[in-house]
Amino acid sequence: MKKILALTAVLLTALTIETYAIGLGLQAGGNTLTGFDDLGLSILISPNEQLHGAVTWYIRSEGVALGGSADYWVLPIALTKLGPGDLLFFVGGGVYARISIWEGEFGLGAGLRLPIGLDWRTGSIDAFIQAVPHAGLGILPSPGFDRFYVDLNLGARFWFG
């Protein structure tokens, strides 16, 4: 129940912020070191076409996590027209934070990320594939350097605004 209330609070806050667009979607993927078993529901808030903030609720066999990220696409390039939409290549930099309960243990961590991917946009729908190398600090259950990871994600979003 607390997770649902937290997600609702984030969504309501997002709707009150002046934005370029708000996207709601699903993404699947995982980590190249630990396996591909993540399924996530995400809310993306974009004040402009280069700045993106996301909150994602991840569901895995080991537990659940709530993650947040903020990315700036330094290099968004329109590659080509693909059907009714545009195919965009992007490279960016950003930060992330995650609260998790994996196998009954509470975790908290934060760090830096480098999203690289393709985004196909048409009207109010987009589909994406991205690789996100990231590294950071584990705060709980034990403080210290968190390993270097590369996440791979595939997803789609519906945009409002």
Ordered domains of the chain (ranges, CATH): 2-160 (2.40.160.20)
69 in Cβ contact with 96 (< 8 Å): yes
Distance CA 68, CA 29 (A): 16
CB atoms within 10 A of CB 117: 18
pTM of the model: 0.80
Residues (pLDDT < 70) of the chain are: 1-20, 161
Q: Is the peptide bond before 143 cis (omega within 30 degrees of 0)?
A: no
Angstrom CA distances, 114 to 54, 59, 72, 79, stand at 14, 23, 9, 20
132-147 pLDDT, tens digit per residue, is: 999 999 988 888 887 7
**What pLDDT was estimated at residue 2?**
58
pLDDT at 16 (0 to 100)? 46
